[in-house]
Amino acid sequence: MSEEIQSEGDISATAVAVAHFRALETGRDDRLFSDPLAAHFVDASGLPIGSIGLSDVTASRVYESVVTRTKFLDDALREAAASGAVKQLVVLGAGLDTRARRLVLPGVESAYELDLPHLFSFKRRALDSAPTTPIGAAFPVIDVAADLLADDWGTHLVAAGFDAKLPTAWVVEGVFIYFTTEQNAQIMKQLTQLSAPGSRLLAVHFGVGSLEEAQSKEMAARTEQGGYGFKSVVADPGDWLAEWSWVTESVSIKGFAQTLGREVPYLEQPGHEVAWLIASRLP
């Protein structure tokens, strides 16, 4: 199944599909994480994605990639919070992300989810009608309606209560790939200006292997037809983020999946990674 699905109403069907993959993973006995809100988002969307069962997607590249990156980012965020390193959480291009509501993050005092206004219109309605209360959310979760391509998204964040003097965990999942290298540079410039020493950047990006691997090229062509194609890759996340003084550890999604006993079904060679999982720190 492709991750690139058409949108409907207030919410992208791609975001709903990703939530459905998290819901399917949550129902597994050998699950890598638990997201009790994911299935509710799918139901609230009214889209027919919920009819796709676990047997339909297990071992598919998109499903395994989504659950692998979710596990990586969850663990990295928990680790940053448990160490006392961060006091704030910001999720850029938040979509239907639920980390601020489902993860126990000691030391985090506030969370901010930044996305376009129509996304929050759907998300608020869905959360208000959710039948379950996640175990996290020991701090306020604040919506920030802003466009990452605008120069003033940081101003909106600060106006919502964000404190640039406090170390922050930034989560950027499924975002960089849809922006050009130049647009990502502007995002990183502003993000870094808002980051106190000790801040963390936890992110996902495509590698150069995505330009070569057959299924990746097919997916890119479909997104292009849908009007929102993939627009950038990075050869080496460490080199890329060093421009803004971030110190980076990275692993490919395929490589990390193998450490979990999962397999993302495509071929990948060193130096030609298809997709990256990134954990960076600002000294």
- Taking alpha carbons only, the member of 19, 17, 28 closest to residue 55 is 28
Under DSSP, is residue 213 helix (H, G, I), strand (E, B) or coil? coil
Bridge partners of 141, per DSSP, are 111
Distance CA 183, CA 169 (A): 21
- Let me know if residue 33 belongs to a domain: no
- Let me know if residue 7 belongs to a domain: no
Under DSSP, is residue 24 helix (H, G, I), strand (E, B) or coil? helix
φ/ψ (deg, to 5) at 205:
-150, 160
Q: Specify the pLDDT at position 6.
A: 36
Q: Specify the pLDDT at position 212.
A: 83
pTM: 0.92
Q: Element (H or E) spanning 55, and its range?
A: helix 54-57
- Let me know if residue 29 belongs to a domain: no
- Let me know if residue 49 belongs to a domain: no
Say how many domains are in the chain: 1
Q: Specify the pLDDT at position 27.
A: 96
- Let me know if residue 2 belongs to a domain: no
- Residue 94's identity, in one-letter code, is A
Q: Which domain holds residue 204?
A: 60-281
Neighbours of 55 (CB within 10 A): 8
Q: Specify the pLDDT at position 131.
A: 82
- CA 41-115-103 angle, to 5 degrees, is 55
User: What are the start-end ranges of the H helices in 9-92?
Assistant: 13-26, 38-45, 54-57, 61-82
Q: Is-contact 216 266, C-beta < 8 A? A: yes
- Let me know if residue 16 belongs to a domain: no
> Which residue do the tokens 């990639």 mark?
65
- Let me know if residue 132 belongs to a domain: yes
Token digits of residue 165: 């003097």
Q: Specify the pLDDT at position 56.
A: 61
Distance CA 158, CA 247 (A): 25
- Let me know if residue 48 belongs to a domain: no
Q: Specify the pLDDT at position 225.
A: 63
Residue 146 maps to which CATH number? 3.40.50.150
- Taking alpha carbons only, the member of 100, 170, 168 closest to residue 135 is 100
pLDDT along the chain (283 residues), means of 10: 39 86 96 95 86 62 95 99 97 97 95 95 90 75 96 97 99 96 98 99 96 73 68 98 99 98 94 98 99
Distance CA 202, CA 264 (A): 21
